[in-house]
A = this chain, B = another copy of it.
Amino acid sequence: MTSSTAPTSASIASSATAAPALHCVPIALDQRSYDIHIGPGLLDSAQSWQGLPKAACALIVSNEVVAPLYLERLRLQLAAHYRRVEFVQLPDGESHKDWASLNLVFDHLLAQAADRKTVLFALGGGVIGDMTGFAASIYMRGVPFVQVPTTLLAQVDSSVGGKTAINHPLGKNMIGAFYQPERVVADLDTLDTLPQRELAAGLAEVIKYGPIADAEFLAWIEANLDALLARDKRALAYAVKRCCEIKAWVVGQDEREQGLRAILNFGHTFGHAIETGMGYGAWLHGEAVGCGMVLAADLSVRKGLMPPEFLPRLRRLIERAGLPVQAPRLGAERYLELMRVDKKAEAGEIRFVLIESLGRAGMHGAPDELVAAVLSDHCG
């Protein structure tokens, strides 16, 4: 897989005012296809909400942090299309991505006698998107939903690919479904209210797309990281668009994660172990992935797949983004135990996404001793 094969979609920018940063990335899947709208000002634009499935009722799912900022504006737009616009607030954070929170959605839907045409709107970050998508996939065996991601991580990652899930005490994202949204509306203005730590967490997933799929994009990120950190809309728009394009291209070839799609999990095997081992919420998902990429880069070098200079190059970029590059001291045994329940593991063998050349990744096993050596070099 090389960068030259991941196609670039056309910008839909046409008016002068919208010129800086308005894109539409079409996601073409076998049975279900949808568009990702990317740009500033989309939340308040009537066009963003036209042509969605008709229903008597819409339910906005959000949390206590995002709802005060954007709920009323979204409600106002949706009131033009749905007789009733309901709202349910979930607790914020990865530590609440569980069945108890999910059930709040079902309690609300059933108390309101919401029928099987009801449309769910996920207003928030990746946790809200994952939970709302999963709730939509199993409420009355499936109702439509729309993603309105308000974090960089959700805009580049969880809004593409149809993966929805909740956590289980014994593993992250272990209970879930593949379920596609009707549309994704990624309003870049919502990133203005994002705490810097969460912006950095989103940049981890942006950086990821370079080494696994697009060497030129990696160079672009290195050149434009300061603009991204300063929330320059033009830079953000390009980054979100390019990530969605790459992910769409990968997912389009492998919707059910039988093969190629697994490369999107670069940094995630170590990352999930960090998240689970530290307790959900202690590290942000993007922080764990950022650090996990450093470890996976080292493993790629130690396996002889990449030249030694790849490790400091990637580590420097991750560090510049404001992400941790030292893994927590859980002990190698605990790491190995946590990684053996990873969804990519087969019959107890841990499988890692490793970089084979810049812009190309693949699945590899590794002896426990080699993994332990990597961990011992990067635990802070």
Contacts and interface: CB of A to CB of B under 8 A. Distances in A.
A266 B281 CA distance: 48
A344 to B, nearest CB: 8
Nearest to A170: B110
Interface in A104-147: 106-107, 110-111, 113, 115-117, 137-142
Nearest to A111: B170
Residues of A in contact with B, size category: 35 or more
Nearest to A134: B138
Interface stretch (A171-179, A198-206, A357-365, A369-377): A171-179
Contacts of A347: 56, 115
Copies of this chain held together in the complex: 2
Contacts of A107: 170
A185 interface: no
Contacts of A165: 141
A174 B118 CA distance: 14
A139 B174 contact: yes
Interface in A321-352: 340-341, 343, 345-348
B110 A171 contact: yes
Nearest to A55: B347
A141 B106 contact: no
Given A110-B171, A137-B177, A141-B165, 20 more contacts: A56-B347, A106-B174, A106-B175, A107-B170, A110-B168, A110-B170, A110-B341, A111-B170, A113-B341, A115-B348, A138-B176, A138-B177, A139-B175, A140-B343, A141-B176, A141-B343, A142-B177, A142-B178, A142-B256, A177-B177
Interface of A: 56, 99, 103, 106-107, 110-111, 113, 115-117, 137-142, 163, 165, 168, 170-171, 174-178, 256-257, 340-341, 343, 345-348
